[in-house]
Every structure is written in C-alpha cells, then in structure tokens.
Amino acid sequence: MKRVCFQLHINPAEADEYKLRHAAVWPEMLSALSEAGWTNYSLFLAPDGMLIGYLECEDFDRCLELMASTEVNVRWQASMSEFFVGLEGAPDEGMRPLEEVFHLN
C-alpha cells in the first residue's frame, strides 16, 4: 500500500460551502472511490485555502483512471470545480503527489 499526499487550493471565501459539500458527499461517489481502491482518504483545509489530500492505495495513477471512467466522478468534479483556484481542468486532474521524505515506521 502506498501513501499519497497532494496539494490543491480553493478560494478561501468559499471554504464554508466547500466543507458543507464534503459533509454530504454523494453515496455513489463514496462507493466509486472505494471500488477504485482509494482508502484512508482525508482532506485537510487551511484558512488560506490550501487543501491537502491524503490517501492510501496500490497505484495512484490507476485509481485516478478508474475514477475518471465513472459518470459520478464527472458530475462530482463539475460540481466542485467552482471552488478551486489555479487549476486547468477538473480538480482531480490537478492532483499531483508530493514526494514523501519521511515516514515514522
């Protein structure tokens, strides 16, 4: 299992709505993520809009491919794209893993 961490940015003025939408992620989106191999998936948001994502999976590129092939992901990304700044394309297309430099274990 590999650990993946990525960073994106949202408009901080939209943080409250962004958090509300993630408090009610569509059940079919949750199922699609699980079926595509995303485990231990978390998002962390800083007051300035910096968004850190973390997940564990076997193959991150494959997980992204599997999600991109689902209709629910296309709808979710379209509904969430308004929150992000500095991205071309859908939010999930901007997920670039950060290099892990230390892990305690």
Q: Structure tokens of 76?
A: 């979710």
pTM, full prediction: 0.91
Residue of 22, 62, 75, 96 marked active site: 22
Any catalytic annotation for residue 103?
A: no
Alpha-helix residue ranges (DSSP H) falling in the chain: 15-22, 27-35, 60-68, 71-80
Output DSSP code: residue 83: G
Q: Could you confirm whether domain 2-94 is CATH 3.40.50.720?
A: no
Q: Structure tokens of 44?
A: 């962390």
Q: Note the pLDDT tens digit of each residue in 25-53.
A: 999 999 999 999 999 999 999 999 999 99
Q: Rounded CA gap, 9 and 4, in Å? A: 17
Query: What is the pLDDT, as a whole number, of residue 69?
Result: 96
Q: Note the pLDDT tens digit of each residue in 51-103.
A: 999 999 999 999 999 999 999 999 999 999 999 998 888 888 889 999 999 99
Q: Which residues have CB under 8 Å from 35's CB, separation 6+?
A: 66
